[in-house]
Structure 1
């Protein structure tokens, strides 16, 4: 009997580990966003023409650049999480399909060994007739 070379328990272990990494990655992305916001606030309000200051509510060129970078990179960071999630789900679904296929092959082999599956007969013959 053929057997798949995939270990469902091994895949489960890897999926669990990837889940842990995804949690840490989410924490890192959250901290990254907060750090970038803090950097934008700390950059001051240097503006074209040499004006500066630390007036509340004002932002300068550096803060505007950081905000633009965050806006542009946010979609890519979100896509990273989505892609990881889909990869994990795909691995689980594939493993379940392999396991189910393995069980189906085993059941078919057992049925054949027990004589429960009729052999293919030529046209016009009925099962059980010699």
Structure 2
């Protein structure tokens, strides 16, 4: 019987590495918002029209731009984790299906070799008959 192209242990190793990277990515995402808020706070209060200085309640142009950037990228950033999770799940499901297919094909080959009848087949399939 020919060998398979997928190594379940290899897939497991890759998924383990992906899990490690996901943990680091999660830490980065958690820090992302706080870092941008810190940048906005430190950017000063340059107001529209060139005025600068202390303006109570006014964030300034840079802070406003950073706030818009955060708002525009938050959903995309959160979706990265969702996509990674779905990809990992699909890889596991595909590997399990591949292994099950391997077992089913091996069982069929053994049944054919032994001349066994498969009653679950519509025409009473017999081993050796294609």
**Normalization by structure 1: what TM-score?**
0.83
Aligned to 2:121: none
The answer to whether residue 15 in structure 2 is matched with residue 15 in structure 1 is: yes
**Structure 2: which 5+ runs fail to align?**
118-125
1:105 counterpart SS class: helix
**Whose Rg is larger?**
1
Rounded to whole Å, the distance in 2 between the matches of 1:102 and 1:12 is: 17
State the match for 1:39 in structure 2.
39
Q: Is the 8 A contact 1:3 1:102 kept in 2?
A: no
The corresponding residue for 2:65 is 65
Task: For CA contacts below 8 A with separation 6 or more, give which structure has more relative contact order.
Answer: 1
1:38-61 CA-to-partner distances (Å, cap 9, x unmatched) read 000111211023333345543111
Number of matched pairs: 121
Q: Is the contact between residue 33 and residue 70 of structure 1 (CA under 8 Å) also seen in structure 2?
A: yes
CA contact (8 A) 1:2 1:105 kept: no
Gapped regions of structure 1 (runs ≥ 5): 122-130
Deviates more, 1:70-79 or 1:111-120: 111-120
**Runs in 1 of length 4+ with deviation above 4 angstroms?**
none
Q: Deviations over 1:103-124 (max 9, x none)?
A: 1011111122222132449xxx
Equivalent residues in 2 for 1:1-130 (5 A)? 1-55=1-55, 57-117=57-117, 118-119=126-127, 120=129
RMSD: 1.8
| Deviations 1:65-100, CA, capped at 9 Å, x for gaps | 000011111122112111111111111111011000
Q: Distance in 2 between matches of 1:30 and 1:9?
A: 32
**CA–CA separation in structure 2 for the residues paired with 1:88 and 1:6:** 15
